[in-house]
Amino acid sequence: MNDQVTNPQQKPQQLEEHIVEIVSDSGEGAQKCGQTFGAIGGKMGNGIWTVEIIPAEIQPPARTPAGGSGIRIRAGSKIMTNMGDEADLVVGFNEQVLYGRIANGAYKEGTVVLLENKWATDPQEKIREEYASAVKEFRENGLIVHELAIEEACLKIVKNARKGKNMFVLGMLCRIYNRDIELGLTEIYNTFKYKGDKVIKPNQELFNSGYQFAKDNLDYFYNIPPYEGAEDDLKHIVVTNGNTALGLGVMAAGMEMLSMYPITPATSASHYVAEVFGDVGGFVHQAEDEIAAIGFAIGSSYAGKTACTITSGPGMALKTELIGLAVMGEIPLVIVDVQRGGPSTGLPTKVEQSDLLASLYGEPGDAPKIVIAAATIPECFEFTIMARKLAEQFRTPVTMLTDANLATGVQPWLRPEIKEEWFSDPIDQSPWDKNIPPYDWDEQTGLSPRPIPGQPDGMYVLTGLSHTERSKVSYNSEMNQITSQHRSRKIAALQNTLKPPVIHGVDSQEEEGDLLIVSWGSTIGAVEEAIDVLREQGNKIAGVHLRFLSPLEPGLKEIFSRYKKVMTIEINYSDEPDAPMITSENRRYAQLANVLRAQFVVDVDCWSVVYGHPLQPGMIIAELSKRLDAMKA
Amino acid sequence: MFGIKADWSLEVFERYFTLDDYGSGTEARWCSGCGDFAILNTVHRVLRDAQVPPEKSVAVSGIGCSSRMPHYMGTYGLHGLHGRALPLANGIKSRRPDLDVWVATGDGDCFSIGAGPWLHSLHLNMDMVILVFDNGIYGLTKKQTSPTTQQGTKTNTHPYGAILPPLNPLTITLGITNISFVAQVVDWNPPLLYETIKAAHQHRGTSFIRVLQRCPVFSEEFTKPLQENPDKFTLLEHEDGITIDDNVKRLFHNVVEHDPSDWLGAMKYAKDEENVPLGLLFKDPDAVVYEDHSSQGLGMTNEEKAAGLKAAFDKFSI
């Protein structure tokens, strides 16, 4: 194939959207390249969604399908809400890592592959052969492969192409997608500014050289115009991943203690907060384990401002007993679970929504608490502020679920106007009214005000034992019944303050239809995009995306009654109804479906998978089309 | 001329706290003859003498007989979970360095299920007093082997006798980097108990006190030989250590000079299985105190916070 197509005068081809992937061995900087490319696109007014492709190991063996590390960027002339389907253009630092992506269905016939060609002349015969056979195979399968001497070009500028090839590729992509060169150079400057000119200069040189290289060697030249209204938005936009949004939320919520233990994929939120918390009056405590991390947070909450702990599934399992204490002692606390694949160590770097039931019911004994789930990156920010307020108002732990997809996905979002009311009030140290017991439960709502150490006359001993309103250990048989009721009542009291969810896709909220999709968490973009496509095809389908899981948002039963069939779409395991051994009596449903079936006695069906990657609109459309066709027949 | 000199008159405290202010008004539910009463009463006295406002003090515990202590205090309290008293206490101190924190724990709660927090909390060296009520047995769950149960002692989990020699909590504690106060005392000598707890309370940093404590119901053999023979003890004395009055010295004949800054010497006494050390083994007033760091930004105004948050957002803006 002739790679030397040069037409420097060409006009860029206009595109509505494109999906780009950069895949390399671990440590070659593909993610940095992609994040920067995404940020530049965002700053030029594109809707952007990025997803990291992360191997589970820090340094997996080079040139292996499972070791691929990289990033996908979906850029378009509309707000992007999910990773989309197959990629349009891929940069591969070697051919083996692309096999891993092909196995995931990431590419289609016609996907353009820009492939490093140095492997063709590798001293090892085995590598030369692998490379040649892969290129042949890719082409046979319809991929359009361009073998490019990227490394060779980089070596003209730096001694070690492994360090720097990513910026060369960034330059290539910026040319291909007609990005602003100055924006690219500024991004590079900002990335390396602390390292000085010695590092900035060669990287900028690599970028420029990559740009020129693409111009000289490739005739792909695209332009993705900004989305409508982008110009206004750009004045107020921030570009972050979900974990950074979460970290900003922790600080904006006025929490001053984030107590954590390292766990993927939650930790980067704490990294970010640790970097800047001093400027916002807080501290990140790294505890010796997950249990101590929540214990420390509970202690901190008990003695003052509501604290926060951030973890992932395995950490949630370890924290269980102390979550029970926080429920029993009615201690406000924000627990964030950035979900990953489970059970056990599972898929540490991959997305799953399998912690819902554990979050709702994980503690032995009845331990009602508030559980919410962020659906988008800005919600990772907003819900953290809400979680802190709910925790205090309802004197209870609040579990907030996000996931690996939100954690590492990068998206531009509207910068909020900072409100001082987000921050917590100073700790009340005024005398407590002696006549008010530490648990002065309101008969109707179960709510009560909380004394804080330092308040004269408020002294009480918080205990995990069954206790009276004076927090005295209770051996009274009535007491446990009454206090269980108060703790439970708080959840109902919260539900009374919530609005019914907004139904997506419908012309009127009162509409009746054939199929209602219920979803939660990070799947919102893919699910709603699929619903939109199916509605355009004339299907009577709609969606409800839940943010509150405990309590559930009100009005669901009535909404369900207006659809012939209700089903959930989730990223957790469920048995397929027609699988071997599976009957209606033993079928295990997806987690939200389970909750809805139990709560509403409605035959809620489900479709859920655990491939470890985010749901894509295409796969949802394919599955739902089958269901809709079956309903019509 | 007779007359009252002005400086004779007592300073009148705005609030003067009596022992009752530090008690909960409920009678402690420990068995008769239990050493815990002595520890509780001593803590009340130390607080009274220091005139700590009860609302500024927090008693934290885990689970076990020892851990009922907060319920018998007139202060704030947090009766936590088994083995988890220390992370809770550390959390309390983290953003409230103004609070006076006490931890009551036991040999099972601290040395067994709470072994992780034991190590790491002492490493943090936050300003608090840890009282380990060590009776060499699980009491609340009725006589199971604890890490400090003597080898051969028959328990419900080892009916033919505890298999292993007991763990030595003192050498382990002394081995933790950044520890700042390690003492051992017995519950049945009130003056020494008082002076030790008082010294611990005055020390800034984590004060770890292992109290050898009588449990007449389940582990009489743990303390009885020691009670009957004070010569089994080595009493550590030093001008930088704990004040030891002559009555105490009359009871414990083996008195040695030990400089509490001498870590190797402390280790030697701690390791001595024949002569049980009493008093202050080690003290380092210069160890890092974690709340000096964890309290960063304390008291920042909302205005300042908003400015910090704005700067944080700016980094992600276009």
CA atoms of B178 and B287, how far apart (whole Å): 6
Q: What is the pTM of this model?
A: 0.94
| Contact (Cβ atoms closer than 8 angstroms) between residue B104 and residue B131 | yes
Instruction: State whether B313 and A460 contact (CB < 8 Å).
Output: no
Contact A256 B87 (CB under 8 A): no
Q: Do A288 and B116 touch (CB under 8 A)?
A: yes
ipTM, 2 decimals? 0.96
Q: Which residues in A lie closer than 8 A to residue B299 (C-beta atoms)?
A: 281
Nearest CA to A387 out of A405, A401, A377, A376 is that of A401
Looking at residue B4, what is its pLDDT? 52
CA distance B197 to chain A (A): 22
- How far apart CA A323 and CA A318 sit, in angstroms, is 10
- B87–A465: do the CB atoms touch at under 8 Å? no
- Condensed to tens digits (0 to 9), the pLDDT of residues A169-225 reads 999 999 999 999 999 999 999 889 889 999 999 999 999 999 999 999 999 999 999
* Burial of B212 from C-beta contacts in 10 A (0-12 / 13-18 / 19+): buried
> Which amino acid appears at position A599 of this protein?
Q
Residue A566 backbone phi and psi in degrees, to 5: -120, 135
Q: Which residue do the tokens 């201690």 mark?
A: A331
Interface test with B, best of A246, A279, A325, A334 (most B CBs within 10 A): A279
What DSSP letter does each residue of B141-177 carry, written as one string? TTSB--TTPPTT---SS-TT---SPPP-HHHHHHTST
Say if the Cβ atoms of B96 and A454 lie within 8 Å.
Answer: yes
- Which among A292, A299, A325 is the nearest to B116, CB-wise? A292
Chain B nearest-CA distance from A466, in A, is: 12
A503-632: which CATH number, 3.30.160.270, 3.40.50.150, 3.30.1490.20, 3.40.50.920?
3.40.50.920
Q: What distance in Å separates the CA atoms of residue B305 and residue A423, rounded to the nearest whole number?
A: 8
- Residue B246: half-sphere exposure toward Cβ, Cα within 13 Å: 0
Hey, do A13-231 and A239-420 end up sharing a CATH topology, with the first three levels equal? Answer: no
> How far is B125 from B11, CA to CA, in rounded Å?
35
State whether B79 and A304 contact (CB < 8 Å).
Answer: no
| Per-chain mean pLDDT for chain B | 95
What type of residue sits at position B317? S
CATH architecture for segment(s) A13-231: 3-Layer(aba) Sandwich (3.40)
In a mutagenesis test of the B interface, which of A261, A320, A459 is the best target, namely the one with the most B β-carbons within 10 Å?
A459
Helices (H) and strands (E) in chain B, counts: 12, 9
Low-confidence ranges of chain A (pLDDT < 70): 1-9
Bridge partners of A258? A284, A308
Question: CA A373 to CA A356: how far, in whole Å?
Answer: 9
pLDDT of residue A3: 45
Q: Which residues of B touch A453 (CB under 8 A)?
A: 55-56, 58, 76, 92, 96, 99
Count of CB contacts below 8 A, A vs B? 204
The answer to whether A466 touches A480, Cβ cutoff 8 Å, is: yes
pLDDT value at B5 more than 60: no
- Please name the residues in contact with B110: beta carbons below 8 A apart, sequence gap of 6 or more: B62, B83, B85, B86, B118, B130, B132, B169
Among A254, A277, A463, select the one facing B79 at the smallest CB separation: A463
Note the CATH architecture for domain A239-420: 3-Layer(aba) Sandwich (3.40)
- Rounded to the nearest angstrom, the gap between the alpha carbon of residue B289 and the centroid of all alpha carbons in its chain is 17
- Is-cis flag, bond preceding A551, omega within 30? yes
Tens digit of pLDDT for each residue in B224-271?
999 999 999 999 999 999 999 999 999 999 999 999 999 999 999 999
Please, what sign has the CA dihedral across residues A503, A508, A512, A515? negative
Per-residue confidence (pLDDT) for residue A60, from 0 to 100: 85
Strands A370-373 and A548-550: antiparallel
Q: Which of B95, B102, B140 has the most A C-beta neighbours within 10 Å, making it the best mutation to test the interface with A? A: B95
Residue A46 Cα to chain centre, angstroms = 20
Closest Cβ opposite residue A303 in set B70, B99, B116: B99
Q: What is the pLDDT of residue B12?
A: 57
**Domain-wise residue ranges, chain A:** 13-231, 239-420, 431-497, 503-632
Tell me which chain B residues have a C-beta less than 8 angstroms from the C-beta of A458.
55, 76
Distance of residue A527 Cα from the nearest chain B Cα, in angstroms: 28
Name which of B79, B116, B305 is nearest A464 (Cβ-Cβ). Answer: B79
DSSP state at residue A27? T
Give the Cβ contact number of residue A366 at 10 Å. Answer: 11
Report the number of secondary-structure helices (H) and strands (E) in chain A.
Answer: 20, 23
Q: Any idea what DSSP says for residue A499? A: P
**Largest Cα–Cα distance of chain A, in whole Å?**
88
CB B72 within 8 A of CB B26: yes
**Distances in Å between the alpha carbon of A146 and those of A111, A112, A135, A171, A220?**
11, 8, 9, 17, 11
Interior/surface letters A32-56, b for 16+ CB within 10 angstroms, e for the rest: ebbbbbbbbbbbbbbbbbbbbbbbb
Question: Which chain B residue's Cα is nearest to A465?
Answer: B79
Using an 8 Å CB-CB cutoff, list chain A residues near B56. Answer: 453-454
Instruction: Determine the distance in angstroms separating the CA of B203 from the nearest CA of chain A, rounded to an integer.
Output: 21
Q: How far is CA A510 from the centre of its chain?
A: 31
Res B7 pLDDT > 90: no
**In whole angstroms, what is the distance from residue B86 CA to residue A209 CA?**
58
Q: What is the DSSP letter of A119?
A: G
From CA B255, how far away is CA B234, in angstroms rounded? 6
Integer CA distances (angstroms), B274 to A503, B133, B266, B271, B277, in order: 77, 21, 15, 9, 9
B120 has pLDDT over 60: yes
Q: Which of A404, A492, A481, A414 is nearest to A447 (CA)?
A: A492
Domains, in order of start, for chain B? 13-290 (3.40.50.970)
Mutate to test the interface with B, among A280, A363, A384 (most CBs of B within 10 A): A280
Q: Which residues of A touch B86 (CB under 8 A)?
A: 292, 295
* Distance from C-alpha of A381 to C-alpha of A387, rounded to nearest angstrom: 10
Per CB-CB distance under 8 Å, the chain B contacts of A239 are 316, 318
* Residue B60: both structure tokens together: 């934290």
State whether residue A359 is helix, strand or coil: helix
Q: Mutual orientation of helices A197-217 and A165-176 as an angle, nearest 10°?
A: 50
Structure tokens at A129: 């052969």
Q: Mark yes or no for CB contact B24/A295 under 8 Å.
A: no
Which among B46, B43, B26 is positioned nearest to B35, based on CA atoms? B43
